Amino acid sequence: MAVVIGAALGLAGAEMQTVLNNPLASPSTLGIMHAATLGASLAIVFNLGFGLPENYAVPICAFAGAIIALGAIQFLAKAYGASVDTIVLFGIALVFALNALVSLIQFVANSDSLQQIVFWTMGSLARASWEKIIIVLVVLLTCLPLAMRHVWKMTALRGGEDYARSFGVPVERLRLLVLLRVSILTAVAVAFTGVIGFVGLVGPHISRLAFGEDHRFYIPGSVLAGAFILSMASLVSKHIVPGILIPDGIVTALIGIPLFLALLLSQKRRG
Amino acid sequence: MTELIIDDLSIAYGNKQVLSHIALPAFAPGTLVGVLGPNGVGKSSFLRALAGLNTYTGSAKLNGIEINRMAHQTRARHIGYLPQTLPQGTSLVAYEAVLSACRAVRTDLLHNAAQALVEATFEQLGITSLAFQALNQMSGGQRQMVGLAQVIVRAPDIMLLDEPTSALDLRWQLRVLDVVRRIARQQQGLALMALHDINLALRHCDHIVLFGNGAVLASDTAQTIMTPERLHDAYQVDGRIEYCSRGTPFVIVDSLSCATSPPQEN
């Protein structure tokens, strides 16, 4: 599960950083993860089952939340022009609104539900099953070839939007298409695991340091880096305290961020 | 053979009219056209419109096809546009930047053929030593050369270059203008360049289009276009036109005219 979720988040982060022209962008930038958290929180607190098997009620509500957020961003971006600034501003507004709603739900939740919500937001691979792995894998194997089809256009975009447009890249359409793909990847990944935020941000940075920004290498590199980071985090979370499974979201942040900073600083010193 | 016909072309941003009713004669294939005029007069808007990146009313036809009705890919195949801004300073190396420009447009090319074109372009511009340098480690002039390589590698019928020499020293200015001239001649194409250096334009271009007050003030050969009156009308300066020993005209500015308005913004 760690390999496919990490790969999906790595791919989503890499594409997001390119189309939003922002190295700080990640699958959580536009509120997709927050919307999934809201969906999951609603399912937990109000016991929304919709007749679904117990294991799938929360993931499906999380997925539905993420897809609704995606629809809102796509609609607003199309209605008001799909520039990077517009999309990021809508995303930030959405993050604040969704955070407030999640807090409100936590406020009215009983202690059992509250504990479940908090655990969900920490992100954990413990709820993995072969069915879930196959679902994420199918989505990943659908999205990855589509991303690879756009590698030249995405590489051209790194030189600047005006340049890419002059090469015949329909920048706005490409951006909306990529955001759709990223949102579906993120929604599927977090629906089954909860919030794992660090991988989608750092996986692409590691790939960029190793392979540069030619997207023929950068995209597969981000997929591998994401898979590697989350696999390592999963191993550590199982063995750091014998008998206790620490949520993977916590481990990725606590161990991964110092390692990532060390990598960045050593790169700067060499450069 | 490339034919560009511009008739009654107007460009506006919202309610603000930038250029009105521009009509230009068809230029002979291989012509280098200098686009001159003061800041904010609409030179960049004009080139962007011809590149299909700004909307316009009226008509601008390349080889009989209205530019704003061309598909993205077709337009990029026939029109090469160099923006005024330099390529973004990223960790992308120059070779990858130029190869991506080639592959994004020339989807018909095999990878080896595209690589050969990229290498030939670097050689033609004399920037082979920059090929594996990252854009964020280059000077402004070097990035401008990479931007130009991204245009040339696609072998477009028409090159629209917005201040292609703004970040270059004298030697590289001459090199760039020579390469552009050679390519335009070889391909029987056209090159339209927005320039601020009037003397550079008079020396290297065949034809000059002089913009002023949102319209074409004059359109003529580089040899005859500039007069003290036109200089005054376009730039609000008093000056003289002298001729060097080779017969090339050059402009000497003596003073500002009495009433000088501040640079405009588009």
The average pLDDT across B229-252 equals 89
Task: Supply B219's token pair.
Answer: 């359109």
The average pLDDT across B20-45 equals 92
| B5 contact A CB<8A | no
Q: Are A123 and A247 in contact (CB under 8 A)?
A: yes
Residue B3 C-alpha, separation from nearest chain A C-alpha, in angstroms: 20
For residue B140, the tally of other CB atoms under 10 A from its CB is 12
Contact A168 B75 (CB under 8 A): yes
Q: Which residue has the higher pLDDT, A80 or B186?
A: B186
Residue A34 is predicted with a pLDDT of 86
For residue B12, the tally of other CB atoms under 10 A from its CB is 15
Q: Return d(Cα A157, Cα B101) in angstroms, integer.
A: 9
Residue A266 C-alpha, separation from nearest chain B C-alpha, in angstroms: 16
Confidence band, pLDDT 50/70/90 cuts, at residue B147: very high
Contact B72 A169 (CB under 8 A): yes
Residue B31 is predicted with a pLDDT of 92
DSSP lists the bridge partners of residue B17 as B12
Q: Is the Cα torsion angle B72, B75, B76, B82 positive or negative in sign? A: negative
Q: Are strands B237-243 and B65-66 parallel, antiparallel or unpaired?
A: unpaired
The partner residue sitting opposite B53, judged by closest CB among A152, A166, A208, is A166
Contact B77 A168 (CB under 8 A): yes
Query: First-to-last CA distance in chain B?
Result: 34
Neighboring chain A residues of B53 at a CB cutoff of 8 Å: 162, 165-166
Lowest mean pLDDT among A190-204, B142-156, B238-252: A190-204
For the purposes of burial, counting CB atoms within 10 Å of the CB of A149, is it exposed (0-12), middle (13-18) or buried (19 or more)?
A: exposed
Residue B264 is predicted with a pLDDT of 60
| A159 contact B CB<8A | yes
DSSP lists the bridge partners of residue B4 as B62
Task: Supply A148's token pair.
Answer: 């690879």
Q: Cα separations (Å) of B61 from A186, B45, B96, B133, B189?
A: 45, 17, 32, 39, 14
- The two counts, helices (H) then strands (E), for chain A are 13, 0
Largest Cα–Cα distance of chain A, in whole Å? 58
Residue A166 C-alpha, separation from nearest chain B C-alpha, in angstroms: 6
Question: What is chain B's mean pLDDT, rounded?
Answer: 89
Q: Are B92 and A214 in contact (CB under 8 A)?
A: yes
| B30 contact A CB<8A | no
Residue of chain A with shortest Cα separation from B74: A168
Q: Please tell me the total number of residues recorded for chain A in this structure.
A: 271
Neighboring chain B residues of A169 at a CB cutoff of 8 Å: 72, 104
Residue B93 C-alpha, separation from nearest chain A C-alpha, in angstroms: 8
Half-sphere exposure of residue B241: CA atoms within 13 angstroms, side-chain side: 17
Neighboring chain B residues of A212 at a CB cutoff of 8 Å: 91-93, 96, 134
Contact A159 B101 (CB under 8 A): yes
Hey, which residues 58-77 in chain B have their CB within 8 Å of chain A?
72-77
CATH number assigned to the domain covering A2-264: 1.10.3470.10
Neighboring chain A residues of B76 at a CB cutoff of 8 Å: 166-168
Which residues 6+ apart lie within 8 Å of A193 measured at CB? A1, A5, A123, A124, A125, A127, A128, A248
Residue A138 is predicted with a pLDDT of 92
Residue B207 is predicted with a pLDDT of 94
Which residues 6+ apart lie within 8 Å of A246 measured at CB? A237, A240
Q: Return d(Cα A115, Cα A127) in angstroms, integer.
A: 16
| B29 contact A CB<8A | no
Hey, which residues 20-79 in chain A have their CB within 8 Å of chain B?
21
Confidence band, pLDDT 50/70/90 cuts, at residue B194: very high
| A167 contact B CB<8A | yes
Residue A268 is predicted with a pLDDT of 61
| B33 contact A CB<8A | no
Which residues 6+ apart lie within 8 Å of B140 measured at CB? B86, B167
Residue of A22, A151, A162, A267 to mutate for B, most B C-beta atoms under 10 A: A162
Q: Are A180 and A74 in contact (CB under 8 A)?
A: yes
For the purposes of burial, counting CB atoms within 10 Å of the CB of B237, is it exposed (0-12), middle (13-18) or buried (19 or more)?
A: middle
The partner residue sitting opposite B88, judged by closest CB among A160, A165, A167, is A160
B243, B244, B249, B255: CA torsion to nearest 10: -70
Q: Return d(Cα B194, Cα A85) in angstroms, integer.
A: 29
Q: Please name which of A40, A38, A17 lies closest in space to residue A27, comparing C-alpha atoms.
A: A17
Domain extent listing, chain B = 4-256
The average pLDDT across B16-35 equals 91
Q: Which residue has the higher pLDDT, B53 or A23?
A: B53
pLDDT reading at B202 higher than 90: yes
Q: Cα separations (Å) of A53 from A48, A57, A64, A81, B191?
A: 11, 6, 16, 41, 67
Hey, which residues 126-155 in chain B have their CB within 8 Å of chain A?
134-135, 147, 150-151, 154
| A208 contact B CB<8A | yes
Domain extent listing, chain A = 2-264
Residue A151 C-alpha, separation from nearest chain B C-alpha, in angstroms: 9
Residue A15 C-alpha, separation from nearest chain B C-alpha, in angstroms: 16
Neighboring chain A residues of B72 at a CB cutoff of 8 Å: 168-170
Residue of chain A with shortest Cα separation from B73: A168
* A48-84 b/e (C-beta count within 10 Å ≥ 16 → b): eeeeeeeebbbbbbbbbbbbebbebbbebbeeeebeb
Class of domain B4-256: alpha beta
Q: Please name which of B184, B84, B151, B146 lies closest in space to residue A167, comparing C-alpha atoms.
A: B151
pLDDT per residue rounded down to tens, chain A (271 residues): 889 999 999 999 999 899 888 887 887 778 888 888 888 888 888 877 666 776 677 788 888 888 888 888 878 777 776 677 778 888 888 889 998 998 898 888 888 888 888 877 777 777 778 888 888 899 999 999 999 999 999 999 988 888 898 888 888 888 888 988 888 888 888 878 888 878 888 899 899 988 988 999 999 999 999 999 888 888 888 787 777 777 777 787 777 777 777 766 766 665 5
Confidence band, pLDDT 50/70/90 cuts, at residue B25: confident
DSSP one-letter string for B39-102: TTSSHHHHHHHHTTSS--EEEEEETTEEGGGS-HHHHHHHEEEE-SSPPP--S-BHHHHHHHHH
* Tens digit of each residue's pLDDT (9 = 90 or more) over B88-137: 778 899 999 999 999 888 878 888 899 999 999 999 998 999 999 999 88
Q: Return d(Cα B130, Cα A211) in angstroms, integer.
A: 19
Residue of chain B with shortest Cα separation from A23: B90
Q: Are B81 and B151 in contact (CB under 8 A)?
A: yes
Neighboring chain A residues of B101 at a CB cutoff of 8 Å: 156, 159, 163, 167
Contact B92 A159 (CB under 8 A): yes
